Chains A and B, each alone.
Chain A
Amino acid sequence: MSDFEPKIIAFLCTWCAYVAADTAGIARYKQKPNVRVIRVLCSGMVDPSYVLKAFTTGADAVLVGGCHPGDCHYISGNFKAMRRAPLLNKLLEEMGVESGRFRLEWIAASDAPQYAEIINQMSEEVRRLGPFSPSMIK
């Protein structure tokens, strides 16, 4: 258990969270190396099936990063993501995925320190939850 390194898939909006992740790296904020990023055009384009696919393929957690409400590059895509998240959470819960394994976060392009903090927090939480295996899906 001690050498468990969680694998977190992060779907990051190219306009905000992706930029924040980039900036966090350039600004050399300390962050856990457990995140693998998939760039998407908008948090609103993250189909729930992408999240499920990540869990069934062996991800230990999934993060969706979008622009703050009202700041969406595509006017209202993040609101769609916001409305979808509780339903997806419910579904994941029923499938046996603990709630800490899926997170939707608002990360503006200027929120590099916040991004690093979210990554570190999430890594620690998932480390505590332990590895996730697709066989755990009910």
Chain B
Amino acid sequence: MPTLTPEGRKGNFREVELGFTEEMAREEGQRCLSCSICCQCGECISKCGPKAIDLNDHERIHELDVGSIIVATGFKIFDPTPLTHYGFGRYPEVYTSLQFERLNNATGPTEGKIRTKDGRVPEKVAIIHCVGSRDQSHNKYCSRVCCMYSMKLAHLVKEKVAAEVYEFYIDIRSPGKGYEEFYNRLQEEGTHFIRGKVAEVTDIVDDPADRGRLTVVAEDTLARKIRRIPVDMVVLSVGLKAADGVEDVARMVGISQDADGWINELHPKLGPLATPSDGIFIAGCCQGPKDIPDSVAQAQGAAALALSLISRGKIEIEPTVAVVNDRLCTGCKTCVELCAYSAVSFVEEKKTAFVNDILCKGCGTCAAACPVAAISVQHFTPDQIFAEIEGILA
């Protein structure tokens, strides 16, 4: 707020604080509105027509008894900070694809206008594919969705600000209905596709006229030359990773993950939604990177599988389960600790182990560990195995 100069205050009683002009008041109000810390004034409650706001609501934990569980814990994006040569976090105009998506969004900070952080309309935008994917030092797998969303972003940039868009790719992977056609359409629109992995993003420019821009350095493997392209914005098409905490969920429901953290399905072709634990189904990116149509298809399939269990009202179990011979069991509880499915319990009254044949999968770990051979797996009993050994060595 402007104030009277110290000299002007001498010998009078005039107001020291001069007050805001309308423009200044608006600016000050804007600052208050966008400071984004709620002071709980409650003004929003009275303004909200459908009365959707409850400032006193708090977290509640519901405990439900359920017959089947669908695990759909999704993914998180690859954090490009370790890839220091891309300058993410160092140069303000380097964005992850998700940040750029937000910038594009009509409810985003710019109301969907694509602008640099200092408010300029970008003239050149680079999109770098395979950030953290297909990379021996990070994730070896292809994240599968990045090519298509990168092309979608390129299309939006062209449409909104008519900037030159440079896509740096290793291979364009566009399998799917209408996807290859979209790739062709982008080529026709004049998006520059440069086949080569980006070596570095730097603020050192070759032409003084480009000062303030970023230079993307990459080898164009098709033209066989090094390209140094000055751009206003760089978008990193970050890959997909297994979500945080999925290992806890997996352990809780008794399913396993592969080396990359994705949840293992029962069978890659014949059981893509089921897991080795009965009644536990998976859907979406927790199983591996996939796009929206695939996730929706999987989710509907998983829901149908869960419903089919409910509507039938009964389940089939494998005959190969462990059984305890009560006469031999000494009650040492070795098996109780070993069972990965918590199917073995100890019966206090009889002082023997008991196998719940609904939970038991028949892995036989308990049978092999039982010091008195009181447990055997049906159809894989020691006598049967011994007979097999004798038979094939005869």
> Is the beta-carbon distance between B256 and A72 smaller than 8 angstroms?
yes
Tell me whether B361 is interfacial, beta carbon within 8 Å.
Answer: yes
> Is the beta-carbon distance between B380 and A84 smaller than 8 angstroms?
no
> Is the beta-carbon distance between B362 and A41 smaller than 8 angstroms?
yes
Tell me whether A116 is interfacial, beta carbon within 8 Å.
Answer: no
* Closest chain A residue, CB of each to CB of B255: A75
Tell me whether B309 is interfacial, beta carbon within 8 Å.
Answer: no
- Selected from B341, B364, B369, the residue in CB contact (under 8 A) with A41 is B364
Per-position binary interface string of chain A over residues 73-114, scored 1 when its CB falls under 8 Å from any chain B CB and 0 otherwise: 111110010001000000000000000000000000000000
> Is the beta-carbon distance between B392 and A38 smaller than 8 angstroms?
yes
Per-position binary interface string of chain B over residues 303-317, scored 1 when its CB falls under 8 Å from any chain A CB and 0 otherwise: 000000000000000
In the complex the two chains form, what is the Cα distance from A77 to B256 in whole Å? 12
Tell me whether B363 is interfacial, beta carbon within 8 Å.
Answer: yes
- Selected from B259, B264, B364, B389, the residue in CB contact (under 8 A) with A54 is B389
Tell me whether B382 is interfacial, beta carbon within 8 Å.
Answer: yes
Q: How far is the CB of A84 from the nearest CB of chain B, in Å?
A: 7
> Is the beta-carbon distance between B338 and A80 smaller than 8 angstroms?
yes
Chain A-chain B contacts (Cβ-Cβ < 8 Å), number: 89
A-B contacts, 7 of them at CB < 8 A, read A42-B363, A44-B368, A50-B382, A53-B386, A54-B389, A75-B256, A75-B341
> Is the beta-carbon distance between B340 and A76 smaller than 8 angstroms?
yes
Q: Which residues of A contact B276 (CB under 8 A)?
A: 73-75
Among residues 29 to 66 in chain A, which have CB atoms less than 8 Å away from a CB atom of chain B? 36, 38, 40-42, 44-50, 53-54, 57-59
Q: A-B pairs with the 5 shortest C-beta distances? A: A45-B364, A74-B363, A75-B340, A44-B365, A42-B363
> Is the beta-carbon distance between B382 and A49 smaller than 8 angstroms?
yes
Q: Which residues of B contact A58 (CB under 8 A)?
A: 393
- Selected from A45, A50, A75, the residue in CB contact (under 8 A) with B389 is A50
Q: How far is the CB of B336 from the nearest CB of chain A, in Å?
A: 14
Tell me whether B126 is interfacial, beta carbon within 8 Å.
Answer: no
Q: A45-B363, A47-B368, A71-B258 are in contact. Are A40 and B393 (CB under 8 A)?
A: no
In the complex the two chains form, what is the Cα distance from A58 to B340 in whole Å? 34
Q: Which residues of B contact A41 (CB under 8 A)?
A: 320, 362-364, 377, 380
Size category of the binding interface on chain A: 20 to 34
In the complex the two chains form, what is the Cα distance from A41 to B266 in whole Å? 15
> Is the beta-carbon distance between B389 and A9 smaller than 8 angstroms?
yes
Q: Which residues of A contact B386 (CB under 8 A)?
A: 50, 53
Q: How far is the CB of A42 from the nearest CB of chain B, in Å?
A: 4
Tell me whether B274 is interfacial, beta carbon within 8 Å.
Answer: no
Q: How far is the CB of A61 from the nearest CB of chain B, in Å?
A: 12
Tell me whether B159 is interfacial, beta carbon within 8 Å.
Answer: no
Among residues 78 to 92 in chain B, which have CB atoms less than 8 Å away from a CB atom of chain A? none
> Is the beta-carbon distance between B377 and A59 smaller than 8 angstroms?
no
Tell me whether B367 is interfacial, beta carbon within 8 Å.
Answer: yes
Q: How far is the CB of A2 from the nearest CB of chain B, in Å?
A: 22
> Is the beta-carbon distance between B364 and A44 smaller than 8 angstroms?
yes
* Closest chain A residue, CB of each to CB of B340: A75
* Closest chain A residue, CB of each to CB of B386: A53
Tell me whether B331 is interfacial, beta carbon within 8 Å.
Answer: no
Q: How far is the CB of B324 from the nearest CB of chain A, in Å?
A: 15
Q: How far is the CB of A43 from the nearest CB of chain B, in Å?
A: 9
> Is the beta-carbon distance between B365 and A38 smaller than 8 angstroms?
no
Q: Which residues of B contact A59 (CB under 8 A)?
A: 389, 393
Q: How far is the CB of B381 from the nearest CB of chain A, in Å?
A: 11
In the complex the two chains form, what is the Cα distance from A58 to B390 in whole Å? 9
> Is the beta-carbon distance between B393 and A45 smaller than 8 angstroms?
no
* Closest chain A residue, CB of each to CB of B362: A41
* Closest chain B residue, CB of each to CB of A36: B392
* Closest chain A residue, CB of each to CB of B361: A74
Tell me whether B16 is interfacial, beta carbon within 8 Å.
Answer: no
Most A CB contacts (10 A, CB to CB) among B254, B338, B373, B388 go to B388
In the complex the two chains form, what is the Cα distance from A49 to B367 in whole Å? 11
* Closest chain B residue, CB of each to CB of A51: B389
> Is the beta-carbon distance between B340 and A45 smaller than 8 angstroms?
no
In the complex the two chains form, what is the Cα distance from A46 to B264 in whole Å? 24
Q: How far is the CB of B341 from the nearest CB of chain A, in Å?
A: 7
- Selected from A38, A49, A57, A77, the residue in CB contact (under 8 A) with B363 is A77
